[in-house]
């Protein structure tokens, strides 16, 4: 290869690198500029890390324009991107996202990052949320269901404790003000060797029917 041909090749490579750099979205800059359109466009980028960053940025910025593109991004093949999208939709809190999020949780595509939104949307129909208690990834909906405090949901909550219980979860039950859940938590503690766990310790202030 001649010196001129080699120089032209280097020039072409340099131009290609510059073009690629110019086409790669800078998520931090887009967020600083509150450029929702730019971030929405980045949700379609080939790089999962950029899609994840764009979803998180949209969740922090909020606004109705981001909701539909984020809902579409729940179909991403990348688990991390889906979780970031679910978290962003939960942070934005738009009711349009409730049904798609519920469907994604029920089929195990996302975890419980946005259960707070679902609790608010379905507060008058909490039975819709009970299937989420059957998955470890979404069982944290128990906190919202306790705060809603609908009679008849206790059995499903107790089954969730039996299946996926942890000490913090049992402490919430023990201190929530519902006698059935308190009894279940006491039994769970005995069965798992937590003999010193007592009412009034832990629970994070979650109270039956407080919402």
Is the CB of residue 88 less than 8 Å from the CB of residue 59? Answer: yes
Is the CB of residue 208 less than 8 Å from the CB of residue 179? Answer: no
- Whole-number pLDDT of residue 8: 52
Which residue stretches of the chain have pLDDT < 50? 6-7, 9-22, 201-203
Say if domain 3-121 classifies as CATH 1.25.10.10. Answer: yes
> Which tokens is 80 given?
């991390």
- Whole-number pLDDT of residue 200: 56
- Whole-number pLDDT of residue 14: 43
- Whole-number pLDDT of residue 16: 44
- Whole-number pLDDT of residue 23: 56
Contacts of residue 55, defined as CB under 8 A and 6 or more positions apart, other chains included, come to 43, 70, 73, 81, 84, 85, 87, 88
Going 148 to 139 to 153 to 169, the CA torsion angle's sign is negative
Contacts of residue 6, defined as CB under 8 A and 6 or more positions apart, other chains included, come to none
- What's the whole-model pTM score? 0.78
Q: Give dist(CA 77, CA 75) in Å, integer.
A: 6
Going 63 to 109 to 107 to 152, the CA torsion angle's sign is negative
- Whole-number pLDDT of residue 11: 43
State the span(s) of the chain assigned CATH 1.25.10.10. Answer: 3-121
- Whole-number pLDDT of residue 136: 94
- Whole-number pLDDT of residue 205: 84
> Which tokens is 162 given?
């039996």
205: helix, coil or strand?
A: coil
Helix extents (H) in the chain: 3-23, 27-32, 36-42, 48-61, 67-73, 79-92, 98-106, 115-121, 142-148, 154-164, 167-174, 179-191
């Amino acid at each position: 290869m001649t010196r001129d041909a080699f120089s032209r090749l280097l020039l072409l490579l340099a131009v290609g690198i510059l073009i690629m750099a110019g086409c790669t979205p800078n998520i931090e800059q887009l967020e600083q500029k509150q450029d929702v359109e730019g971030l929405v466009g980045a949700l379609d980028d080939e790089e999962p890390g950029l899609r994840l960053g764009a979803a998180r940025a949209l969740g922090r910025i909020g606004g109705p324009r981001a909701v539909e593109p984020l809902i579409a991004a729940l179909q991403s093949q990348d688990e991390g991107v889906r979780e970031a999208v679910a978290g962003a939709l939960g942070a934005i809190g738009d009711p349009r996202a409730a049904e798609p999020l519920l469907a994604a949780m029920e089929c195990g595509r996302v975890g419980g990052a946005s259960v707070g939104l679902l609790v608010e949307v379905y507060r008058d129909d909490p039975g819709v949320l009970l299937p989420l208690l059957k998955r470890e990834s979404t069982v944290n909906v128990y906190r919202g269901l306790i705060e809603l405090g609908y009679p008849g949901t206790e059995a499903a909550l107790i089954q969730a404790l039996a299946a996926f219980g942890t000490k913090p979860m049992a402490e919430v039950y023990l201190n929530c003000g519902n006698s059935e859940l308190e009894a279940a938590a006491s039994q769970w503690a005995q069965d798992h060797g937590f003999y010193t766990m007592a009412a009034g310790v832990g629970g994070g202030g979650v109270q039956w029917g407080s919402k």
